[in-house]
Amino acid sequence: MPSLFKIPLTSLDGIGPKKAQLFSKLGAESVGELLMMYPRTYEDMSEPRRIREADSAGPCCVRAVVEHVYPPSRIRKNMTIFKLSVTDGESRMNINFFNQQYMYEKLQNGGEYLFYGYVKKNYSLYEMSAPVVVGVDEENKIRPVYSLTGSLTNNQIVKAVKQALAMLPEHINDPLPQYILDEYGLCTLDFAIRNIHFPKDSEALLKARKRLVFEELLVLQLGMLRIKTVGRKGRAHTMQKGYADEFFSLLPFSPTGAQRRAVSECINDMTNGNAPMNRLLQGDVGSGKTAVAAAVCYTVVKNKYQCAIMAPTEILAAQHYDSLSGIFRNTGIRIELLTGSMRASQKNHIYKRLADGDIDIMIGTHALISDKVEFSSLALVITDEQHRFGVAQRAALVSKGDSPHILVMSATPIPRTLALMIYGDLDLSVLDEMPPGRQKTETLLIDSPKRTRALGFLRKNIREGHQCYIVCPLVEDSDTIDLQSAESYIESLKHTPLSDCRIGLLHGRMKSAEKDSVMDDFSHGRLDILVSTTVIEVGVNVPNATIMLIENAERFGLSQLHQLRGRVGRGSAQSYCILVSDSKSESTIQRLKVMCETNDGFKIADEDLRLRGPGDFFGSRQHGLPELRVANMSDMLSLEQTQRAALRILARDPDLSLPEHRGLYTECLRSQFAHSS
C-alpha cells in the first residue's frame, strides 16, 4: 500500500482538480496531509445545558422538545424565515431559521433535539438563530469545525476526512517509539487521528490531543536541536582578532551601549576558540541591529573570511545592501546583492565571483540557498527577521560553509517563555537601548468622525516636507487581495485634505520590480504618502516618514501594530502614529490604548500575550512562532516534557538512526520542509 502522503486528494470521491486546489490552499495535497489537517475547533454537543443556564458568551448546546413549529413566512425576496418554540420543561426558547426549508420538514412537534448555537437573552426571553440541530441519539456529538477557504464547506471537508480515515491501513507506523508512548501514557497514532477528527467523547478528544501535541512539540524540539548541530561538528573558524573599534570609527554616529555590548558578545564568540557562535540578536525596530551585523561582518572580513546575510524580502535585502555599502564605502570591502528577480547572467556572474572569493559580504533573499551558490570561505551566516524563514532554509544556508558562525536577528520582542520554544538555547544579545535623539512616537487613538481632522494633520506635515504611511483597511492573505478596495480607498483620499498629495500603493501581490519602484519613489521623496497593506511591516527604513495612520486598527494584534509603528520615528523629527478604530468593544479599546501608553516592544508583547491569549499569539506567524497544528500556549507543560524527551533521545541517538527513531526522523524532515514556506 503506498503511503497516504503519496495519494492525491483527487482520488477521493467528490474531489476534482478544482476542489483539490482549495484543499491545497489549506495545506493538504495528499490524503495523508488531509488527515493532518486537524479541526480548528469543535461543536460540542456532548454536554447539553438547561436553557436558563445557557451562556451567551459563546455557542452552547441546549436539549429541548419542540412545542410548536410556526409556518414559514417570506420576509423579503429570497428570504423566508420560520420559528420554533422549544422547551426543556423549565424554560422556553424561540428559535429562528432562515431559508432552511428542509429543517421545517425535518423538525416535528413533540420531537426532542439538541440545538447548538448562540443564545441571546432578553429579559426572560431566550432566542437562538440558525442553530445546528442534532437528534438526541446521534452518535457523533462532538463535531469537527475546520478552517475553510473559498467555496469549500465544512461538510465537504468532513466527507473527505471520513473517506481518508477509511483508507488508514490496519497497522500505522507510529513515529513515536513504544517506550515514549509507555513512559508518557500516550495513546496510539491510530486512536489519535480518528479521535482528533471525530471524537468518541470529550475524554477521547483530550487523549488524542495530548498525544498529537506531544508529537508535534517533540518533533519541533528535535528539529531545532538537530539544526543547532548541522555543520556544528567541525571546528569553528576562530577569528584571530576583533575589529570593533576600527569598525565603530566607520559609523557616522557613535554606537549605543547596547550595540557595543552586543558586538563584543559576538566577537567574543568568534574569537574564543570554542564552538561556533550561535547567537540571537533581539532588538526592537530601530534599535540599530544593522550596525551590529555590519560590525560582526567587518571582523570576519578582516580575518579574510566571507559573510552571508539573508533577509526575507527583496526590499529588506536591498536595504541591507544599501546600508552596508554606505558604511563600508571606503574600505575596499566587496559587497554584492543576490535576489530571485535578477537576470540569470547577473546571477551567474555573482556565483562565479563568490566561489572565487571575490565577494566578501553576500547579501540576499532565499536566492542565497540556491544550489548554484557556493562560497569559497563562508564563516558567518546572518539571517534577519529569521522567523520568516523555515528551519530548513536557515540550515541550507549554514551548510554552505564549514561550521560557520551564526547570528540570527529578530525584531519581534518575544516573551521569555516563548523564546524558549522558538530559539531553543541560542545565546541571546538584546538591544534594549534606542539610539539617542530618537523621540517617542506619539500614538493617538481616534474614531472615524475624526479622520478628516487627522488627514488635515497629515497634510500639514507633508507641507513641512515630511512623508506619511497609511495602512489601508485591506484584508490581504497569502493570495487574495481586494485590489478594488485598495484602489477605491486611494480614490476616496481625493475627496479629503490629501487630494493634491502624491500617493503610491504597495501591496503583497505586486511584482517585486513594481514594489521596488514604488519603494524607491517613496524613499527618494517622489511620493508624499505610501498607502500600503501590511507588507511594509518588515524592516522598511525611510527616516523622513513621520506619520503612520492605521485604518481599522482593531484588526491587528498589538505586536503587529508595534511592528508597523516602528516604520516611523526613525529620524530625529517628532513622529506620530494614528490608530483609527470604530470598535465599540471595551476590551478592544483597552488593548489599543496600550499602544498609546508605551513604545516598549517587550512590554507590548507581554500585554499582547496576556490580552489576546496564547491561541492568537501562536496563531500569528508575525511572532516568529513555528506554525503549529495542535499545540498552543496552554501546552507549556508538554513543552518542557518534550524538551527533556528530545534531549534524551538525541543524547542516545544524535542522528536519529536507530530503528525505533526512524519515524521521528521522517517527521522531523517533513515538518522542517512544511515550515519553510
253, 329, 500, 655: residue in contact with ligand ADP (rule CB under 6 A) = 253
Asked if 543 and 511 count as a contact pair (C-beta separation under 8 A), the reply is no
CB of 570 to ligand ADP, least distance (A): 5
Asked if 359 and 336 count as a contact pair (C-beta separation under 8 A), the reply is yes
CB of 422 to ligand ADP, least distance (A): 18
- Total residues in contact with Mg ion, by rule CB under 5 A: 1
523 binds, among ligand ADP, Mg ion, none (CB under 5 to 8 A by kind): none
Q: How many CA atoms lie within 13 A of 525 on its CB side?
A: 7
| String marking each residue 502-541 x if it binds ligand ADP according to CB under 6 A | ---------------------------------------x
CB of 539 to Mg ion, least distance (A): 5
Nearer to ligand ADP, 34 or 317 (CB): 317
CB of 297 to ligand ADP, least distance (A): 13
Angle at 114 between CA 113 and CA 116, to 5 degrees: 140
With 0-12 / 13-18 / 19 or more C-beta atoms within 10 angstroms meaning exposed / middle / buried, residue 27 is middle
Report the distance separating Cα 339 and Cα 352, nearest Å.
15
Describe the crossing of helices 189-197 and 154-166 by its angle, rounded to 10 degrees. Answer: 160
Nearer to ligand ADP, 191 or 248 (CB): 248
CB of 290 to Mg ion, least distance (A): 5
CB of 270 to Mg ion, least distance (A): 21
Nearer to ligand ADP, 303 or 575 (CB): 575
671 binds, among ligand ADP, Mg ion, none (CB under 5 to 8 A by kind): none
The DSSP string of 62-82 is EEEEEEEEPPPEEEETTEEEE
Report the distance separating Cα 568 and Cα 571, nearest Å.
8
Asked if 566 and 411 count as a contact pair (C-beta separation under 8 A), the reply is yes
Nearer to Mg ion, 539 or 624 (CB): 539
Strand partners, 547: 468, 576
> Which amino acid, one-letter code, is at 465?
G
Nearer to ligand ADP, 232 or 260 (CB): 260
- The window from 106-114, 289-297, 299-307, 339-347 that contacts ligand ADP (CB under 6 A) reads 289-297
- The window from 63-71, 140-148, 283-291, 552-560 that contacts ligand ADP (CB under 6 A) reads 283-291
CB of 566 to ligand ADP, least distance (A): 7
- Total residues in contact with ligand ADP, by rule CB under 6 A: 17
- C-alpha cell of residue 244: 570593533
Nearest to 92, CA basis, from 129, 64, 117: 64
291 binds, among Mg ion, ligand ADP, none (CB under 5 to 8 A by kind): ligand ADP
- The window from 228-236, 285-293, 523-531, 601-609 that contacts ligand ADP (CB under 6 A) reads 285-293
Report the distance separating Cα 213 and Cα 633, nearest Å.
11
Nearer to ligand ADP, 541 or 641 (CB): 541
Report the distance separating Cα 364 and Cα 312, nearest Å.
9
386 binds, among Mg ion, ligand ADP, none (CB under 5 to 8 A by kind): none
Angle at 384 between CA 380 and CA 389, to 5 degrees: 100
288 binds, among ligand ADP, Mg ion, none (CB under 5 to 8 A by kind): ligand ADP
Q: Pairing between strand 41-44 and 142-145?
A: antiparallel
144, 231, 242, 288: residue in contact with ligand ADP (rule CB under 6 A) = 288
CB of 251 to ligand ADP, least distance (A): 7
Nearer to ligand ADP, 257 or 654 (CB): 257
287 binds, among ligand ADP, Mg ion, none (CB under 5 to 8 A by kind): ligand ADP
570 binds, among Mg ion, ligand ADP, none (CB under 5 to 8 A by kind): ligand ADP
CB of 139 to ligand ADP, least distance (A): 55
CB of 595 to ligand ADP, least distance (A): 18
With 0-12 / 13-18 / 19 or more C-beta atoms within 10 angstroms meaning exposed / middle / buried, residue 646 is buried
Residue 291 binds ligand ADP (CB under 6 A): yes
255 binds, among Mg ion, ligand ADP, none (CB under 5 to 8 A by kind): ligand ADP
Q: CA 310 → CA 227, 385, 420, 543, distances in Å?
A: 17, 9, 23, 23
Q: Between residue 388 and residue 447, which ones bind ligand ADP under the rule CB under 6 A?
A: 411, 435
Nearer to ligand ADP, 573 or 628 (CB): 573
Q: How many CA atoms lie within 13 A of 261 on its CB side?
A: 12
Report the distance separating Cα 70 and Cα 83, nearest Å.
5
Instruction: Map 90-153 to HEC letters.
Output: CCEEEEEEECCHHHHHHCCCCCEEEEEECEEEECCEEEEECCEEEECCCCCCEEEECCCCCCCC
Nearer to ligand ADP, 212 or 568 (CB): 568
The DSSP string of 405-423 is EEEEEE-S---HHHHHHHH
Report the distance separating Cα 354 and Cα 352, nearest Å.
5
Burial profile 114-126: b = 16 or more Cβ within 10 angstroms, e = fewer: bbbbbbeeeeeeb
Residue 287 binds ligand ADP (CB under 6 A): yes
Residue 575 binds ligand ADP (CB under 6 A): no
- Counted residue by residue, the chain has a size of 677
Q: Between residue 515 and residue 574, which ones bind Mg ion under the rule CB under 5 A?
A: 539
3-state secondary structure of 548: strand
Nearer to ligand ADP, 340 or 435 (CB): 435
- The window from 50-58, 89-97, 125-133, 279-287 that contacts ligand ADP (CB under 6 A) reads 279-287
Residues lying near ligand ADP in the complex (CB under 6 A) are found at: 253, 255-256, 259, 283, 285-291, 411, 435, 541, 543, 570
Residues lying near Mg ion in the complex (CB under 5 A) are found at: 539
